[in-house]
């Protein structure tokens, strides 16, 4: 593709549910190509399969794209009144609003001898399918209505109220060739192609007709879509040619496989919608970075890319043919990198909803350390973020920040240390904390003073019982971090309680 070529691409999902993570990858690649080539990127909604349409899906699709920061500048969007709206000169961008256009073009093909009216009943089609299966033939329509029903007769039957569909007449000889951006030169023998229905009996077009008409009228130059559409591409190219139109260039993306099952990533694998990843606390920057590398190789050892860097590096020729593996572990690692790079104020705001839900389900008796105390929450997040892979991880181990724990006598002693030595260690820790003023109560100061007081050869004798006293747990952040977060008064209170248990 020449750099000077005008690029116009689209993301055209069906509003049948939440946006799948694979759909987000398709949108991303279209977005990257448009930005790389200073072209246009628009959002079209393909809702011609009315039986599967979910009324809330359009809003979810738009919100998912906005969350990912790859929202198209043209097409469908949600306005200030939270209603579905459209912008751009090629509208409507919602296919159900374009039925008259599709019907016109379908009937034009019939009049030109490139398509025909079909009156075969579902029962007849089922019998045909079974007979072909018995004969070990690929299921395909046998062109019966093309061969036995003239155009004049068809029009009379339609005028009489008989139900019909319009089928595209695939040539029975020759080959359809095209060059896929990802897969190179591809050829299909026309005799192996079925005559697809392009206009259904309810007046709605099928995907085959609708997207061809729209991509022509909306001047789409490149179609990036999933590989499941590759077998249908020759039908689409033949449709373009039947209209006398130049087809766009196609790029069929590789399938995304579940790492464990090696099957195509699907709803059976659990959380695979963009909404799921948002709820679990993945950052949009990390998700975009991760899915960009699911099928595209920048030919570098780097793995962390900002959206701007992805635009700069993107080259459609580097999209892979081989299946991509969805490795949640890698996504978690990448998300953790982005979490640690976040500004602490922004990260705390992102974590607040998770902490709010936690406090709602685990009421805290300490009202002074509530959700409204942003500075306190900021301290918690700054400590916890080193261990966080997702935003939701912030609440995995935070109960002791909001509630004074009961001293766990069973784990208070360090290794085989006696009760007497544990008591001495706690008193020593308490004395260190007492000498640190409120003004000097910093993480670095706490760490330096406590480490200085500890035995260099066995620091655990001092630090272990103090950590258990402050948190009630074997596994938690360091005692310096916890003491810094909960403050001097609370730290001393908890240390005294621990001392009293071993008196």
Q: Active-site residues: which are they?
A: 267
Q: Which of 264, 265, 306 is nearest to 283 (CA)?
A: 306
Note whether 47 and 15 are within 8 A (CB): yes
Helices (H) and strands (E) in the chain, counts: 20, 13
Tokens of 395: 């609440």
Burial (CB count within 10 angstroms: exposed 0-12, middle 13-18, buried 19+), residue 185: exposed
Residue whose structure tokens are 């109960």 = 399
Closest CA to 103 of 174, 200, 191: 200
Cβ of 83: how many Cβ atoms within 10 Å?
9
Q: Could you give the angle at the alpha carbon of 387 between the alpha carbons of 383 and 389, nearest 5°?
A: 125
Using an 8 Å Cβ cutoff, are 170 and 190 in contact? yes
Cα 432 from Cα 436, distance rounded (Å): 7
Could you write out the three-class secondary structure of 449-465?
Answer: HHHHHCCCCCCHHHHHH
- List CB contacts of 214: < 8 A, sequence separation 6 or more: 12, 44, 95, 98, 220
- What span, in angstroms and rounded, lies between the C-alpha atoms of 154 and 485? 81
**396 three-state secondary structure:** coil
Distance separating alpha carbons of residues 132 and 139, to the nearest angstrom: 6
For tokens 């979810």, name the residue.
Answer: 60
Give the number of other CB atoms < 10 A from CB of residue 396.
13
- Dist CA 367 CA 422 (whole Å): 32
Distance CA 52, CA 91 (A): 23
Measured CA to CA, the distance from residue 353 to residue 281 in angstroms comes to 10
Query: CA 42 to CA 86: how far, in whole Å?
Result: 10
The token pair at 70 is 């790859």
Exposure string of 474-499, with b = 16+ CB inside 10 Å and e = fewer, is eebbbbbbbbbbbbbebbeebbeebb
DSSP secondary structure letters along 234-278 = HHHHHHHHHHT-PPPEEEEEPPEEETTT-SBP-GGGS--BHHHHH
- CA contacts within 13 A on the Cβ side of 409: 7
């Amino acid at each position: 593709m020449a750099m000077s070529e005008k690029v116009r691409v689209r993301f055209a999902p069906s509003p049948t549910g939440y946006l799948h993570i694979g759909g987000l990858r398709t949108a991303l690649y279209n977005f990257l190509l448009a930005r790389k080539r200073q072209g246009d990127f628009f959002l079209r909604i393909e809702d011609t399969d009315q039986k599967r349409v979910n009324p809330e899906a359009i809003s979810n699709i738009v919100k998912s794209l906005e969350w990912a920061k790859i929202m198209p500048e043209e097409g469908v969007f949600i306005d200030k009144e939270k209603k579905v709206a459209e912008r751009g000169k090629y509208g409507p961008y919602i296919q159900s609003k374009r039925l008259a256009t599709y019907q016109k073009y379908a009937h034009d093909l019939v009049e030109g001898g490139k398509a025909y009216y079909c009156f075969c009943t579902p029962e007849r089609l089922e019998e045909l399918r079974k007979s072909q299966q018995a004969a070990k033939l690929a299921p395909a329509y046998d062109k019966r209505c093309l061969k036995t029903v003239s155009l004049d007769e068809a029009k009379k039957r339609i005028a009489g109220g008989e139900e019909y569909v319009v089928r595209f007449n695939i040539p029975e000889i020759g080959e359809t060739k095209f060059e896929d951006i990802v897969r190179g030169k591809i050829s299909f023998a026309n005799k192996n192609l079925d005559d697809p229905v392009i206009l259904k009996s309810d007046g709605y077009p099928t995907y085959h007709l609708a997207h061809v008409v729209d991509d022509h009228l909306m001047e789409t130059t490149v179609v990036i879509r999933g590989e499941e559409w590759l077998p249908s591409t020759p039908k689409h190219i033949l449709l373009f040619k039947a209209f006398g139109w130049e087809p766009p260039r196609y790029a069929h993306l590789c399938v995304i496989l579940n790492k464990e099952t090696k099957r195509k990533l699907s709803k059976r694998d659990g959380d695979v919608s963009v909404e799921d990843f948002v709820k679990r606390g993945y950052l949009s920057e990390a998700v975009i970075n991760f899915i960009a590398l699911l099928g595209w190789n920048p030919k570098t050892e780097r793995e962390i890319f900002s959206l701007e860097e992805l635009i700069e590096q993107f080259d459609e020729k580097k999209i892979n043919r081989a299946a991509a593996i969805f490795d949640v572990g890698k996504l978690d690692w990448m998300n953790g990198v982005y979490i640690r790079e976040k500004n602490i104020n922004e990260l705390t705001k992102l974590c607040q909803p998770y902490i709010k839900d936690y406090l709602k389900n685990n009421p805290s008796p300490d009202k002074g350390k509530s959700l409204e105390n942003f500075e306190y929450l900021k301290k918690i997040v700054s400590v916890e973020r080193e261990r966080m892979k997702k935003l939701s991880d912030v609440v995995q181990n935070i109960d002791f920040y909001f509630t004074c724990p009961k001293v766990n006598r069973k784990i208070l002693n360090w290794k085989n240390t006696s009760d007497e030595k544990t008591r001495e260690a706690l008193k020593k820790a308490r004395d260190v904390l007492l000498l640190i003023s409120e003004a000097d109560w910093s993480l670095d100061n706490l760490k330096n003073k406590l480490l200085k007081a500890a035995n260099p050869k066995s620091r655990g004798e001092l630090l272990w019982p103090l950590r258990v006293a402050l948190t009630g747990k074997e596994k938690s952040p360091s005692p310096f971090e916890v003491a810094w977060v909960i403050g001097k008064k609370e730290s001393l209170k908890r240390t005294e309680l621990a001392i009293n248990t071993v008196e």
